[in-house]
Amino acid sequence: MSGFLSRRFLEARAAAAAPPIDHDRFCRRCGFNLRGLKPGGACPECGRPIPAAERAGDDDPYLDLPEDPRARVRRGLRLAAIVLVVAALAKWCYLVPGAFAWTPELKAVYRSANAALACAWVLVVAAMLPAGWAAIDPRYRRARRWIIGGSLGWIPGCLALAVLAWTRAAPNPPALGGLETLLAIVGDGGRFLGGLAAVGLFLVHERAAELGGLEVERRRFAAAAWMLVPTSLLGQVFPPQVALFTMVLVAIVAFFWAWAMLVAADGCRRTASHLAWAAREVRDAAGRDERVAAARESIDADVRARIRPFPDRGRRE
């Protein structure tokens, strides 16, 4: 704790002692020109903190991406926000009715919805991790392969549990024997790998947000990553039918799991908005210097045209 407080104190002291920004420096969220403002303050347009060190806000990995991968990441983030919100709502739509009238059919419908979300999530992960994004970390390429490969575990895992749930929901469920155990192992193992990959995905974008100076987005991804681990593990402890006094613990775990999904969705939404601004910033920056020079030349010409020359007193005398 002392180290954390010391680091925060040193950052605040360095920001207070820093001189005002004496050059064109644009807010990474809204594009407002921060010239004349002091680092450590906030953007007057959108309220985003101004990084004390220029590197923290100017080495933006999202801006370093080419146009097509950046657009793909933006679409992936928007789709991820939708998938995460739907997953949180599906959790509660399954939990609340199941607390009072749990049926095998309800669980089968929930498992089928999870299987559909798993297919969409794999597409989301592939879009959110562009190739060649080594500006985040030299180990990014290996981490990207691991995250995408682990995310594929969601599909067989959720499909296996959906098949198992529908088999048990049949009027006369057949005896599966060893196949039932195999489906359960595949389901739990696939979801475990997918959960680890989701944590890795959030940590990658936490690192990208940190390098880009996106403090709010960084906190969202970090909170989602660390909340997802204990809630996912505790969610596997409770059976589908529990006693009434255990329902409180189940509700607490489900609440924090759904909260982690919503926090991650908010981080994805905010980052997608930043990427939309980044696309406009890159397009505007392409001809910004030429436009500024042309505008200054036009202003100088207008000023010269308006100024009347002083009479030559020597000649008149």
**In the numeric block, which tokens belong to residue 170?**
């049949």
User: For the chain, how many residues are written?
Assistant: 317
| Distance, CA of 310 to CA of 226 (rounded, Å) | 73
Amino acid at 267: G
Give the pLDDT of residue 84: 93
Q: What confidence tier does 57 reach under pLDDT thresholds 50, 70, 90?
A: very low
Query: Higher pLDDT residue, 183 or 292?
Result: 183
Query: Which residue from 156, 223, 208, 217 is spatially nearest to 187, judged by alpha carbons?
Result: 156
Backbone region of residue 101 per phi and psi (left: phi > 0; alpha: psi in -120 to 50; beta: other values): beta
Question: What residue segments make up the domains of the chain, in order of their start?
Answer: 87-282
Threshold 0.85, pTM exceeds: no
pLDDT digits 0-9 by tens, 149-158: 999 998 998 9
pLDDT value of position 215? 84
Q: Residue 159 has which token pair?
A: 């499909």
Give the pLDDT confidence of 80-108 residue by residue, as tens digits: 999 999 999 988 887 777 666 667 888 88
pLDDT, position 5:
44
Q: Has residue 268 got a pLDDT over 90? A: yes
- Give per-residue pLDDT as tens, 303-314: 777 776 655 555
pLDDT of residue 79: 93
HSE value, Cβ hemisphere, 13 Å, CA-based, for 276: 11
Secondary structure (DSSP) of 197-254: HHHHHHHHHHHHHHHTT-HHHHHHHHHHHHHHHHHHHHHTTS-SS--TTTHHHHHHHH
pLDDT of residue 297: 81
